[in-house]
Amino acid sequence: MKQSQLFTKTRKESPSDEVSKNAILLIRAGFINKERAGVYDYLPLGLRVIKKIENIIREEMNALGGQEILMSTLQRKELWEKHFKQDRWSDENVDVWFKTKLSDGSELGLGFTHEEPISNMLEQFVSSYQDLPFSVYQFQNKFRNELRAQSGIMRGREFLMKDLYSFYPDEESHKTFYNKAKSAYRKIFDRVGIGEITYTTLASGGSFSEFSHEFQTVCDAGEDTIYITDESKKEAQNKEIGAKDTKEVKAVEVGNIFTLGTKFSDPHLKFKDKEGKEGNVFMGSYGIGLGRLMGTVVEVLSDDKGIVWPQAIAPFRVHLLSLGEKGKGYADEVYKTLVDRGVEVLYDDRDLRAGEKFADADLIGIPTRVIVGDKSLESKMVEVKERIETESKNISLDALVSELKK
Amino acid sequence: MKQSQLFTKTRKESPSDEVSKNAILLIRAGFINKERAGVYDYLPLGLRVIKKIENIIREEMNALGGQEILMSTLQRKELWEKHFKQDRWSDENVDVWFKTKLSDGSELGLGFTHEEPISNMLEQFVSSYQDLPFSVYQFQNKFRNELRAQSGIMRGREFLMKDLYSFYPDEESHKTFYNKAKSAYRKIFDRVGIGEITYTTLASGGSFSEFSHEFQTVCDAGEDTIYITDESKKEAQNKEIGAKDTKEVKAVEVGNIFTLGTKFSDPHLKFKDKEGKEGNVFMGSYGIGLGRLMGTVVEVLSDDKGIVWPQAIAPFRVHLLSLGEKGKGYADEVYKTLVDRGVEVLYDDRDLRAGEKFADADLIGIPTRVIVGDKSLESKMVEVKERIETESKNISLDALVSELKK
């Protein structure tokens, strides 16, 4: 894409109403726009990152056998109030509801999670052990009426979430799936580039705490505290347990997986086993917030010049900069060549000084910067610099293409 | 996908609380689930159709140069109340708002359209004629508090919509883009399979009615009336204008494109022209409801046996049915071959009678049905029938693959 066509612009000054690093950098670089605290729009660069994260997660969910659906935001009061064994409609039990009304006065809620409607929807399809097991997932906007929302896109009042739900006949078969899901989660965090600093902790509380985990990424802006050791193999504790040699660090919960048991299936989502005996379906739920994951990457990988995107979720693979009048034609040619070879390129074809283009490229954080200057036309060499490195090198266009295709 | 793995099932009986054909068929075939009137979930088959429609629209919007974004659902009262020249917050002016509250008591709305927030978001990026023109679009959930919602997914209280907004310096340059958008819309309706019965009508009212159009698909369940002629070249009237030889038909509005002028840019979204003179940006808006389009296709193309999907938006290209015990192994082989060649296949590998499988295939409406029976193993021939035809033919697997790849 030509940067001259992109409607967003970077800005030098930080927004005055933001305190979190992720929001400040993402707003300055033109990835997001703030509607109000905890409510953000995704602009073209930001939406490209979200879509890449979404695709990585979708691939891993499909590999688990998950079937993609899309539930509604609007929620029926009756379903949350008394259909299953616990009342999650009451504001005393759940303090994050946004509620609204139909024109006839009946109340609706905006979904903050989807256990109730998913279990209820499945009642029509599940009656026998032969209908099990399966898992379903969605990418869906969640709404949570948070009292405070000062962490940028890491804690939204409206936020995109992947939630997967698994349905098994019993605890034993559930555990096999649960462990696969746990591995899939680790793979996701590896693929988006934060696997090395992401720890698995046992989730506290609940009836199945041994099979309930959080994924915590070490991050100064995190709201949680975890205890890690050097030989932890990415397992950590979420409370001090006297293990010696642990280090206390701040962390962000980037994902969680829970064994729910029959909490949301009892009494309505049931099946008959081989002997004709009736039981409730054994459930698990598995969540990742896409915005939170994107915000965490910005928090932990950025430097004082701007964002540093891992390749897998960068909005573009290459940031091509044309410098000077004479090099322009050759830069156009390089752009065309790269795009023709299937490389995603943001092409800074604007009529600006080199310093401004460099500063923008550092702020936006695309992995590889390619400069075509006045001398490139003659030498047919381009200057290549990785965002995370300080040294650049001059190579031919052919060499660049084959490096990018590796 | 193996049908034995799909968690949804078809049902013979119609849901008792639906009157619209699209909802009845889509619920019976397992494409959607009703939460309440006007609020539906998309199940795996339904979401596949929505995603295909979305991709077709995205391709056409990208071809227009549209830049994809994602705005928030939650809307600030102040922005709709008094930021631009008209008040669209008041329930007297707009009677479809769903409103909600933050925990501090301040009011928020759920977006039913996005002119106000998009214009407001752009104020930070537009200051000069050099920042224009451009267009932005999104696929986003809209919320409308409809008094009645009895048309299935054709009139939702919550529904997925593509809305594009264009920003040009003046009316003349806007018109050029407007005409391109009009062609793109025709292309979309052609591609999803309803181009032949979709008419362009002038939208009534408004200051720019000559450059405001609706796209109306002839459909008995439609809420609008249009007047068509045989030589109309797909142009129609939305009121009787004494043209002789017109025919009055019912129609569904599947899309609309509007010239907005400076209604949503005055006074805040402005730019300086070459001479330094200040003016308001000239705008257009262009909408398509994805659910409504899907529902319309079901209304107009289904027959008494079920849905008939056009190839471009069918959930799968091929419905493979294995019949009998002996053919099962060969059916598995056919499935593997087709999937390896990149064909999207729903494979009915269930242990059911032939009649039930045929009825399900007709109801679900996948374009090509392929039957592998007991004799197929020996003859290496499969029986192929198009959903819209009554005759089947026996061909080899190779011939099938090359026909599908055409």
Per-residue confidence (pLDDT) for residue A205, from 0 to 100: 65
Distances (CA, A) of A84 to A115, A119, A273, A308: 10, 9, 21, 46
Q: A375 — phi, psi (to 5°)? A: -80, -15
The tens digit of pLDDT for each residue in B82-130 reads: 898 889 999 999 999 999 999 999 999 999 999 999 999 999 999 999 9
pLDDT at B279: 97
Angle between helices A397-404 and A328-340 (to 10 degrees): 30
Distance from C-alpha of A308 to C-alpha of A369, rounded to nearest angstrom: 12
Query: For position A240, what pLDDT does the model report?
Result: 72
Which segment, A189-193, B146-150, B322-326, is predicted with the most confidence on average? A189-193
Q: Are residues A207 and A235 in the same domain?
A: yes
pLDDT surpasses 70 at B242: no
Residues 94-133 of B with CB under 8 A from A: 95, 98-103, 108, 110, 117, 121-122, 124-126, 131
Bigger pLDDT: A80 vs A236: A80
For A153, the 3-state DSSP assignment is helix
**A/B interface, count of CB pairs below 8 Å:** 134
For residues A282 and A265, is the Cβ–Cβ distance under 8 A? yes
pLDDT digits (tens, 9 = 90+) for B280-326: 999 999 999 999 999 999 999 999 999 999 999 999 999 999 998 88
Instruction: Establish if A154 belongs to a structural domain.
Output: yes
Q: Burial-class residue B151 by CB neighbours within 10 Å (0-12, 13-18, 19+).
A: buried
**Chain A interface mutation, best of B100, B294, B316, highest count of A Cβ atoms under 10 Å:** B100
Q: In CATH, what number is assigned to the domain containing residue B370?
A: 3.40.50.800
Cβ-contact A3, A347 below 8 angstroms: yes
CB contact under 8 A, A102 and B134: no
Structure tokens at A211: 């099979």
The answer to whether the beta carbons of residues B132 and B104 sit under 8 Å apart is: no
Residue-level pLDDT at B342: 95
| Residue B196 structural domain | 21-301
Measured between CB atoms, which of A7, A43, A47 is closest to B134?
Answer: A7
Helix pair angle (A171-191, A44-63), 10° resolution? 140
Domain boundary among A301, A328, A345: A301
Joined tokens for residue A379: 């030498």
Residue B230 has a pLDDT of 74
Same domain, A240 and A328: no
Residue B208: per-residue pLDDT? 73
User: Structural domain tally of chain B?
Assistant: 2
Structure tokens at A72: 């509604």
Same domain, A226 and A335: no
Percentage of residues of chain A with pLDDT beyond 70:
98
Radius of gyration of the CA atoms of chain B, in A: 24
Q: Which positions in chain A touch B12 (Cβ < 8 Å)?
A: none
pLDDT the model gives residue B232 = 65
Look at residue A2 and tell me if it is in a domain: no
Residue A321 sits in the same domain as residue A263: no
All residues of chain A having their beta carbon less than 8 Å from the beta carbon of residue B5 are 65, 67, 134
**Does B360 fall in a domain?**
yes
Q: Check whether residue B169 and residue B203 sit in a common domain.
A: yes
Answer yes or no: do A260 and A334 share one domain.
Answer: no
CA B87, CA B77: separation in Å to the nearest integer?
10
Measured over the CA atoms of residue A106, residue A93, residue A207 and residue A162, the dihedral's sign is positive
Cis preceding-peptide flag for A315 (omega within 30 of 0): no
The tokens describing A5, both together, are 């066509």
Cα angle B150, B151, B156; round to 5: 90
Rounded (5°) CA angle B27-B6-A266: 80
* CATH number of the structural domain spanning residue B158: 3.30.930.10
Q: Write down the pLDDT at residue A369.
A: 98
**Which of A301, A329, A362 finishes a domain?**
A301
Closest CA to A40 of A211, A181, A154, A172: A154
Asked if the structure places residue B11 within a domain, the reply is no
Chain A residues lying within 8 Å of B121, measured CB to CB: 33, 41
Contact B338, B290 (CB under 8 A): no
Q: What is the pLDDT of residue B206?
A: 64
Out of B47, B95, B147, the one facing A69 most closely (by C-beta) is B47
Question: Kind and range of the H or E element at B181?
Answer: helix B171-191
Nearest CB to A7: which of B108, B110, B136?
A: B136
Same domain, A285 and A349: no
A206: pLDDT confidence band, cut at 50, 70 and 90? low
| Residues from chain A contacting residue B8 (CB–CB below 8 Å) | 125
Check: CB of residue A25 under 8 Å from CB of residue A298: yes
Q: Which two tokens stand for residue B361?
A: 């295939």
Mean pLDDT of B237-266: 89
In a mutagenesis test of the A interface, which of B102, B123, B153, B160 is the best target, namely the one with the most A β-carbons within 10 Å? B102
The pLDDT assigned to B246 comes to 86
pLDDT at B251: 97
B147 interaction partners in chain A (CB closer than 8 Å): 103
Alpha-carbon span A108 to B149, nearest angstrom? 16
Q: Does B16 touch chain A (CB under 8 A)?
A: no
Say if the ipTM goes beyond 0.90: yes
B67: contact with A, CB 8 A cutoff: yes
What pLDDT does residue B197 have? 95
Residues B133 and B241 in one domain: yes
Q: pLDDT at residue A235 above 90? A: no
Cβ separation of A41 and B103 shorter than 8 Å?
no
| Calpha distance A264→A281 (Å, rounded) | 9
Question: Could you tell me which residues come within 8 angstroms of residue B257 by beta carbon, excluding any fewer than 6 positions away?
Answer: B178, B181, B182, B185, B212, B213, B284, B285, B286, B287
B159 contacts chain A (CB < 8 A): no
| pLDDT at residue A376 greater than cutoff 70 | yes
The reply to whether A6 falls in a domain is no
For residue B142, list chain A residues with Cβ-Cβ distance below 8 A: none
In a domain, B124, yes or no: yes
In terms of pLDDT, which residue wins out, A244 or A385? A385
Domain membership of residue B6 (yes or no) is no
What does the pLDDT average to over B183-208?
90
Q: How far is A401 from chain B (nearest CA, A)?
A: 25
**Same domain, yes or no, for A171 and A253?**
yes
Mean pLDDT of the region B260-267? 95
Q: What pLDDT, on the 0 to 100 scale, is given for residue A238?
A: 77
Please state, rounded to an integer, the average pLDDT across all residues of chain A.
95
Domain boundary among B272, B301, B330: B301
Beta bridge partners of B347: B2, B320
Helix H or strand E encompassing B34:
strand B32-36
pLDDT tens digits, one per residue of A362-372: 999 999 999 99
Positive or negative, the CA dihedral B155, B159, B160, B161 is positive
B192 in the same domain as B66 = yes
With an 8 Å Cβ cutoff, are A35 and B76 in contact? yes
Residues A219 and A340 in one domain: no
Chain B positions touching A127 (Cβ under 8 A) are none
B125 contacts in A (CB within 8 Å)? Answer: 7-9, 30
Domain membership of residue A16 (yes or no) is: no
Same domain flag for A258 and A363: no
